[in-house]
Amino acid sequence: MQADPTDNTKKILTEIGTLLDALSILSVELSCECGIPDRLILPATRVREACAAIDEAVPTLKHLLSSIQARSHEAMPPAAPDETRPD
């Protein structure tokens, strides 16, 4: 018996939602109400953890979106080069 493609899409969308929720939580955790406008002071470990979470989430989201594209057979626009991170 073959899996229902709708079930697979639902699983993918659920995973995307979970990743986006995690990134939203990360954003809140990184916010600071330190009273100094335009400055944010965070411990290095917190910054490294945030970067690692983002570095893990982005490829996962790209993979999930590719899976959806493969199932839908719709053309997706080309991805922009990732120039946000230094080599």
Q: Along the 87 residues of the chain, how does pLDDT read in single tens digits?
A: 566 667 777 888 888 888 888 888 888 777 766 666 666 677 888 888 888 888 888 888 888 888 887 777 655 556 666 555 554
Q: How far apart are CA 10 and CA 25, in angstroms?
A: 22
Which pTM does this prediction carry?
Answer: 0.57
The packing angle between helices 44-72 and 5-30, to 10°, is: 160
Q: How far apart are CA 75 and CA 37, in angstroms?
A: 43
- The dihedral of CA 84, 76, 24, 19: what is its sign? negative
pLDDT of residue 9: 79
Q: Which amino acid is at 49?
A: E
Where are the domains positioned within the chain?
A: 42-72
